[in-house]
Structure 1
Amino acid sequence: MKNFLIPTTLKEDTISAVKSAINQAKDTSCQIVLMMVADAPDTFSSSQFLREMRVGLTPSQEEVLEICRSIAERNANIKIKIHNQFGLSSPVFKGIIDTFEVKLVILTNSYKQETKRIHQYLVKLAGNQKCPILHLGAEKSKEDFYKALYIESEKAPMHVKDVQQFLSANFSYEIVSQTTSFNDNYEQFAPYLTEAISKYDIDLLVETRKGEKIKFSKTKKENISDKLGLPVLSLYETA
């Protein structure tokens, strides 16, 4: 069973994330967990704590949730679960992934743009987990992907054959081209990347990552998805 975790504030692109998860499932039984996080109420009163924990949705959020449920109901193998999480930490987040047997975290562009600290914290916690992460781009894209460009890390490269073996075992993606990391000289690489994406009909980027110490910055760092407008599958580098 391949289960999916989609952190969400129920913006419209959550619908695309759910459709993408369904396509990844490939007719196998799976559960899509829509997780909404909030800070734990700061009170010693149990009654007030319970009152503040009640989750109210706006009409637009209700509409997005209803559409997601409707899409899932068309697929007998798919189940949607809403998980409300109050308070978050690294052990708690790892426990959620383990409990729901999550095989892929899907991060939408709108969620990564959220300004509340707890949402930013979740994105950073996700990066430190060993679970693969699918970053959806800002632009509307296909819900399923086939041809990938592998961006090899300079510091700790994973051989393309090892990456392809993992992709073949867990997804339906084929690496059709590869390049070294270009974060520091994107402008120089941009024409070649654009040509490769067009030539090989690439619809997904694949990168690797390492766990990092969590820091918060006022300036948002532009990532690969922002630069090229394509979804990015991020794989955790194992030692």
Structure 2
Amino acid sequence: MYKLKLIHMKNFLIPTTLELDTINAVKSAINQAKNTNCEIILMMVSDTPDAFSSVQFLREMRTALTPSQEEVLETCRYIIEHTANCKLKVHNQYGISASILKGIIEAFAVKLVILTPSYKQETKKVHQYLVKLAGNQKCPILHLGTEVNKEDFNKALYIENGSANMHVKDVQQFLSANFSFEIVSQTGNFDNDYEQFAPYLSEAISKYDIDLLVETRKSEKIKFKKVKKHSINEKSGLPVLSLYEEIA
């Protein structure tokens, strides 16, 4: 059992289309900040308009929010206004690439990317592409679970990747320096045989009151498959903290 404490968690990047679970993502960021100064960046990504003139380009860039999106944004602003030491920034990004995303993460000094279930279910290619690009960045990613009202996490199950060229102690050292989770159990990687390990996962969740999974990831070649492979986050419904192996 390891006790983990949070230090220096500053800025959070939340890609969003302003669905309702964006509010949950903002609350999760606030909980991770643990009363330290932080900035939460809501990033809305759109395709670059296919326009020949600068006037037409600017005209097509102006995208009005729907009433429901306005409501979500105003709720996020209200939460931040009533939270000490936190600021909210809305960043509109037209076009995305690996270098652009890396630049955004560096420019805003992002310490954690938070992905919501609704954003990962977006059908537009620009959103799907961003999710894949995020996986190849070195910044930690928190994949939120499907439980809408769960924003804070305490007890974690560590999923050890047997093929990882790293030591568990290195992962633990990184977590101890950055997060406030308590790892209470660990297991081997069961992503390829989830059904077999599902009973074990259920037992561990019940026994240790687990509300978060921790995994590591490697950079992958980006491909868009017709049949989408479901992640452990989607299969279990639990939030997953994904750490890039070089960092961990």
Q: TM-score, normalised by structure 1?
A: 0.97
- The secondary structure found in structure 2 opposite 1:134 is strand
User: Which structure is higher in RCO with an 8 Å CA cutoff and minimum separation 6?
Assistant: 2
CA deviations on 1:77-109 (whole Å, 9 max, x unpaired) are: 000000000011111110000000000000000
Aligned counterparts of 2:17 and 2:226: Cα–Cα separation in 1 = 21
Task: Look up the SS of the partner of 1:185 in the other structure.
Answer: helix
Within the candidate set 194, 206, 218, 1:186 is matched to 194
Paired with 2:49 and 2:236, the residues of 1 have a C-alpha distance of 40
Kindly provide the amino acid, as one letter, of the partner of residue 225 in structure 1.
N
- Unaligned ranges ≥5, structure 2: 1-7
Unaligned runs of 5+ in 1: none
- Counterpart for residue 17 of structure 1: 25
Contact 1:39 1:87 survives alignment (8 Å): yes
* Candidates 73, 92, 97, aligned match of 1:84: 92
Q: Percent identity between the aligned chains? A: 75
1:28 aligns with 2:36: yes
Task: Name the CA distance, whole Å, in 1 between partners of 2:124 and 2:202.
Answer: 34
Assess if the C-alpha contact under 8 Å between 1:164 and 1:174 holds in 2: no
The alignment status of 1:103 with 2:111, answered yes or no, reads: yes
Answering whether residue 161 of structure 2 is matched by residue 139 of structure 1, we say: no
Query: 80, 93, 97: which is aligned to 2:101?
Result: 93
Q: CA deviation at 1:155?
A: 1.3
Rounded Cα–Cα distance in structure 2 between residues aligned with 1:76 and 1:55: 31
Query: Where in structure 2 are the equivalents of 1:1-239 lying within 5 Å?
Result: 2-156=10-164, 158-238=166-246
Q: Structure 2 length as normaliser, TM-score?
A: 0.94
Give the C-alpha shift of residue 184 in structure 1: 2.0
- Judge conservation of contact 1:168–1:174 (CA < 8 Å) in 2: no
Determine the C-alpha separation between the residues in 2 that align with 1:92 and 1:7.
14
The answer (yes or no) to whether the contact 1:164–1:175 under 8 Å persists in 2 is: no
Q: What's the CA shift for 1:138?
A: 2.2
Q: How many residues align?
A: 239
Q: Deviations over 1:40-92 (max 9, x none)?
A: 01112000001011121000000000000000011120000000000111111
- What displacement does 1:157 show? 5.5
Distance (whole Å) between structure 2 residues aligned to residue 20 and residue 157 of structure 1? 31
CA distance in 2, matches of 1:160, 1:230: 22
SS in structure 1 at match of 2:192: coil
